[in-house]
Amino acid sequence: MELISSVRNPRVLAWKSLREKKGREENCSFLVEGAKMVGEALSSDFEIQAVLLREDQVSFFGIPDHIPVYILSESAFSAVTDTRTPQGIAAVLSRRVQPLRGNRFVALDAVQDPGNVGTIIRTADAAGFDGVILSPECADLFSPKVLRSTMGSIFRMSFSFPENLCASLVQFREQGYSLLSSQLDGEPFFERSAVSSSFILIIGNEGNGISEPVKSAATHHLRLPMRGGAESLNAAVAAGIMMYDLTR
């Protein structure tokens, strides 16, 4: 174990840069924080470049011998981490994910709130979906807020990042997938026509909904009933209701 005290240490500066998208892309790495997320990372097949321990957490067990461990002073650890009350453990991982596999996916069309993106990924994992497709306009999958919201599901799900979401969805449709567009002017969700065993649920932007090209590509246009006074639901809540019903 190497002890690092200075916030100006080159390693600390490199790890700190992972809090920003530019730093994550330049270093091809990302950082997860907290005992649960680090534990999930250690149990996954992701490449772990280093485990970072705050100096009062040196008794943390379960780190394989081949993984470098660095002990950071409180100031150095705080400089690296994003949470206001860090648990004293973090890990640096290579920036990659499992390629898309399976036949039940959720596609995010410019979902920009990190909490929504992470919660949808977590719910998709819980509901039995196989993977998530993210358009370029979505919140960065590797941002601290998205990662925290996934609660470790990022390590179990497969992902795709098409440059053109609509074109990608059309390819899936040609392969026999049902494409379900969730929109306020669609047909009643619980009265939907038959859906293929291979399908993609599409969730749109929080303010603008699903883009017109993606709507045009969809085989189903569906809306959840609004029996009360609310005009719409939070994107992650709506996605959760539909995902669980589709896999029921």
**pLDDT score recorded for residue 67:** 94
**pLDDT score recorded for residue 77:** 95
Is-above-0.85 flag for pTM? Answer: yes
Q: Which CATH number fits domain 98-246: 3.60.15.10, 3.30.590.10, 3.90.209.20, 3.40.1280.10?
A: 3.40.1280.10
CB atoms within 10 A of CB 65: 5
The ranges assigned to domains in the chain are 2-94, 98-246
User: Are the C-beta atoms of residues 181 and 218 closer than 8 Å to each other?
Assistant: yes
Across 16-34, b (16+ Cβ under 10 Å) vs e yields: bbbbeeebbeebebbbbbb
CATH no., domain 2-94: 3.30.1330.30
User: Are the C-beta atoms of residues 38 and 51 closer than 8 Å to each other?
Assistant: yes
HEC secondary structure over 87-102: CCEEEEEECCCEECCC
Question: Consecutive sets of 10 residues in the chain, 248 residues long: mean pLDDT of each?
Answer: 92 97 96 94 94 84 88 94 85 90 97 98 98 98 96 95 97 98 95 96 96 97 94 95 96
**pLDDT score recorded for residue 23:** 96
Please list the residues that pair with 223 across neighbouring strands: 188
**pLDDT score recorded for residue 61:** 67
Q: Same fold for the domain at 2-94 and the one at 98-246?
A: no
Q: What share of the chain is helix, strand, coil (3-state, %, to 5)?
A: 35, 25, 40
Cα–Cα distances in angstroms (integers) from residue 107 to residues 70, 84, 124, in the given order: 38, 31, 11
